[in-house]
Amino acid sequence: MIEIHGLSKTFTDRRGDTVTALDDARLDVAENEFLTLLGPSGCGKTTLLKCIAGLVPYDSGTIEIDGRPIQGPGPDRAMVFQNFALLPWASVVDNVAFGLRLRGVARAEREERARELVATMGLAGFEKKLPGELSGGMQQRVGIARALAVQPQVLLMDEPFGAVDEQTRRLLQEELLALWEEQRPTVVFVTHSMEEAVLLGDRVALMSARPGRVAELVPVDLPRPRARGGGPDRSGVYAELTAYLWDRLREMHEEHRTVRTGAPA
């Protein structure tokens, strides 16, 4: 469904230094797949996701969704941000309705849909609150509701639970799984946590830094539904996979250190 070929992106910072974030990256994501994207920090996960979102122009390569090359942001995709990116002056309902508003949905309709999603995300009673009055976990529920409100085919999530505490993260993971199992959007979910990548994903795309590309695709053979109680027993396959991913990541970190210090391999 999402097909990425030969994607390269080099940033030039203010001093004129260049950083190659993506180098000939390729990735295919199947329809209704939950793909998690795991890699060392700075390897280009956010860049790849923003390229798919149409927010970052890339230097070369192609990104196609259902065979059509993307041209900037589109109504078929919605993004969830690590820092929530909520409008601090707008109420919960207005934040959830924001994407619909930008897309020209009439007030009555967008508010109705926003209220439904607010309830779905367990935020009933908080409709009029401002983001600053909510906990981090609740703020991200608003961020997810805002993305779901525009009914995207593809949900792009950039470390959405990276800024919330461990217990809230567990809850949010289970809620997201339940939502996904019900609605089955295609999800690309960036994380730096091996456990999260395995718990959520159908496959884990393991990214390497320098070159910034998908180094390996690891299928996750865990039964679904994994939400609430049906979750993996955190032993067996689950433990093996997270251990394997950590081995690979540690290799990458070590290679990276050798490259940087110039020491012989």
- Interacting residue ranges for Mg ion, rule: CB under 5 A: 46
Is residue 163 within the footprint of ligand ADP (CB under 6 A)? no
**From residue 35 to residue 54, what is the string marking binding to another protein with x (rule CB under 8 A)?**
---------------x--xx
Shortest CB 125 distance to ligand ADP, Å? 35
> CB count, 10 Å around CB of 174?
17
By CB under 8 A, residue 75 contacts another protein: yes
Smallest gap from Cβ 89 to another protein, in A, equals: 4
**DSSP letter for each residue of the chain:** -EEEEEEEEEEE-TTS-EEEEEEEEEEEE-TT-EEEEE--TTSSHHHHHHHHHT-S--SEEEEEETTEE--SS-TTEEEE-TT----TTS-HHHHHTHHHHHTT--HHHHHHHHHHHHHHTT-TT-TT--GGGS-HHHHHHHHHHHHHHT--SEEEEESTTTTS-HHHHHHHHHHHHHHHHHH--EEEEEES-HHHHHHH-SEEEEEETTTTEEEEEEE----S--STTSS--SSHHHHHHHHHHHHHHHHHHHHHHHHHHT---
From the list Mg ion, another protein, ligand ADP, none, partner contacted by residue 1 (C-beta under 5 to 8 A by kind): none
Least Cα distance to 78 among 139, 148, 28, 29 occurs for: 148
* Residue 239 interacts with which of another protein, ligand ADP, Mg ion, none, CB < 5 to 8 Å by class: none
Q: How would you write 70-105 as a 3-class SS string?
A: CCCCCCCEEEECCCCCCCCCCCHHHHHCHHHHHCCC
Of 36-44, 86-94, 207-215, 222-230, the segment contacting another protein by CB under 8 A is 86-94
Residue 186 binds which entry of ligand ADP, another protein, Mg ion, none, CB below 5-8 Å type-dependent: none
Mark residues 44-83: x for contact with ligand ADP by CB under 6 A, - for none: xxxx------------------------------------
**8 is an interface residue for ligand ADP by CB under 6 A:** no
> Residue 63, interface with another protein (CB under 8 A)?
no
The residue range among 29-37, 67-75, 217-225, 240-248 that interacts with another protein, by the rule CB under 8 A, is 67-75
Q: Under rule CB under 6 A, how many of the chain's residues touch ligand ADP?
A: 12
Q: Which of 43, 93, 144, 200 touches ligand ADP (CB under 6 A)? A: 43
Q: Please classify residue 25 by burial: count the beta carbons closer than 10 Å to its beta carbon, then call 0-12 exposed, 13-18 middle and 19+ buried.
A: buried
19 binds ligand ADP (CB under 6 A): yes
Say whether residue 245 binds another protein (CB under 8 A).
no
Q: Counting contacts by CB under 8 A, is residue 203 touching another protein? A: no
Q: Which residues bind ligand ADP (CB under 6 A)?
A: 11, 13, 19, 21, 39, 41-47
Q: Which residues bind another protein (CB under 8 A)?
A: 50, 53-55, 73-75, 77-79, 81, 83, 85, 87-89, 98-99, 101-103, 130, 132, 150
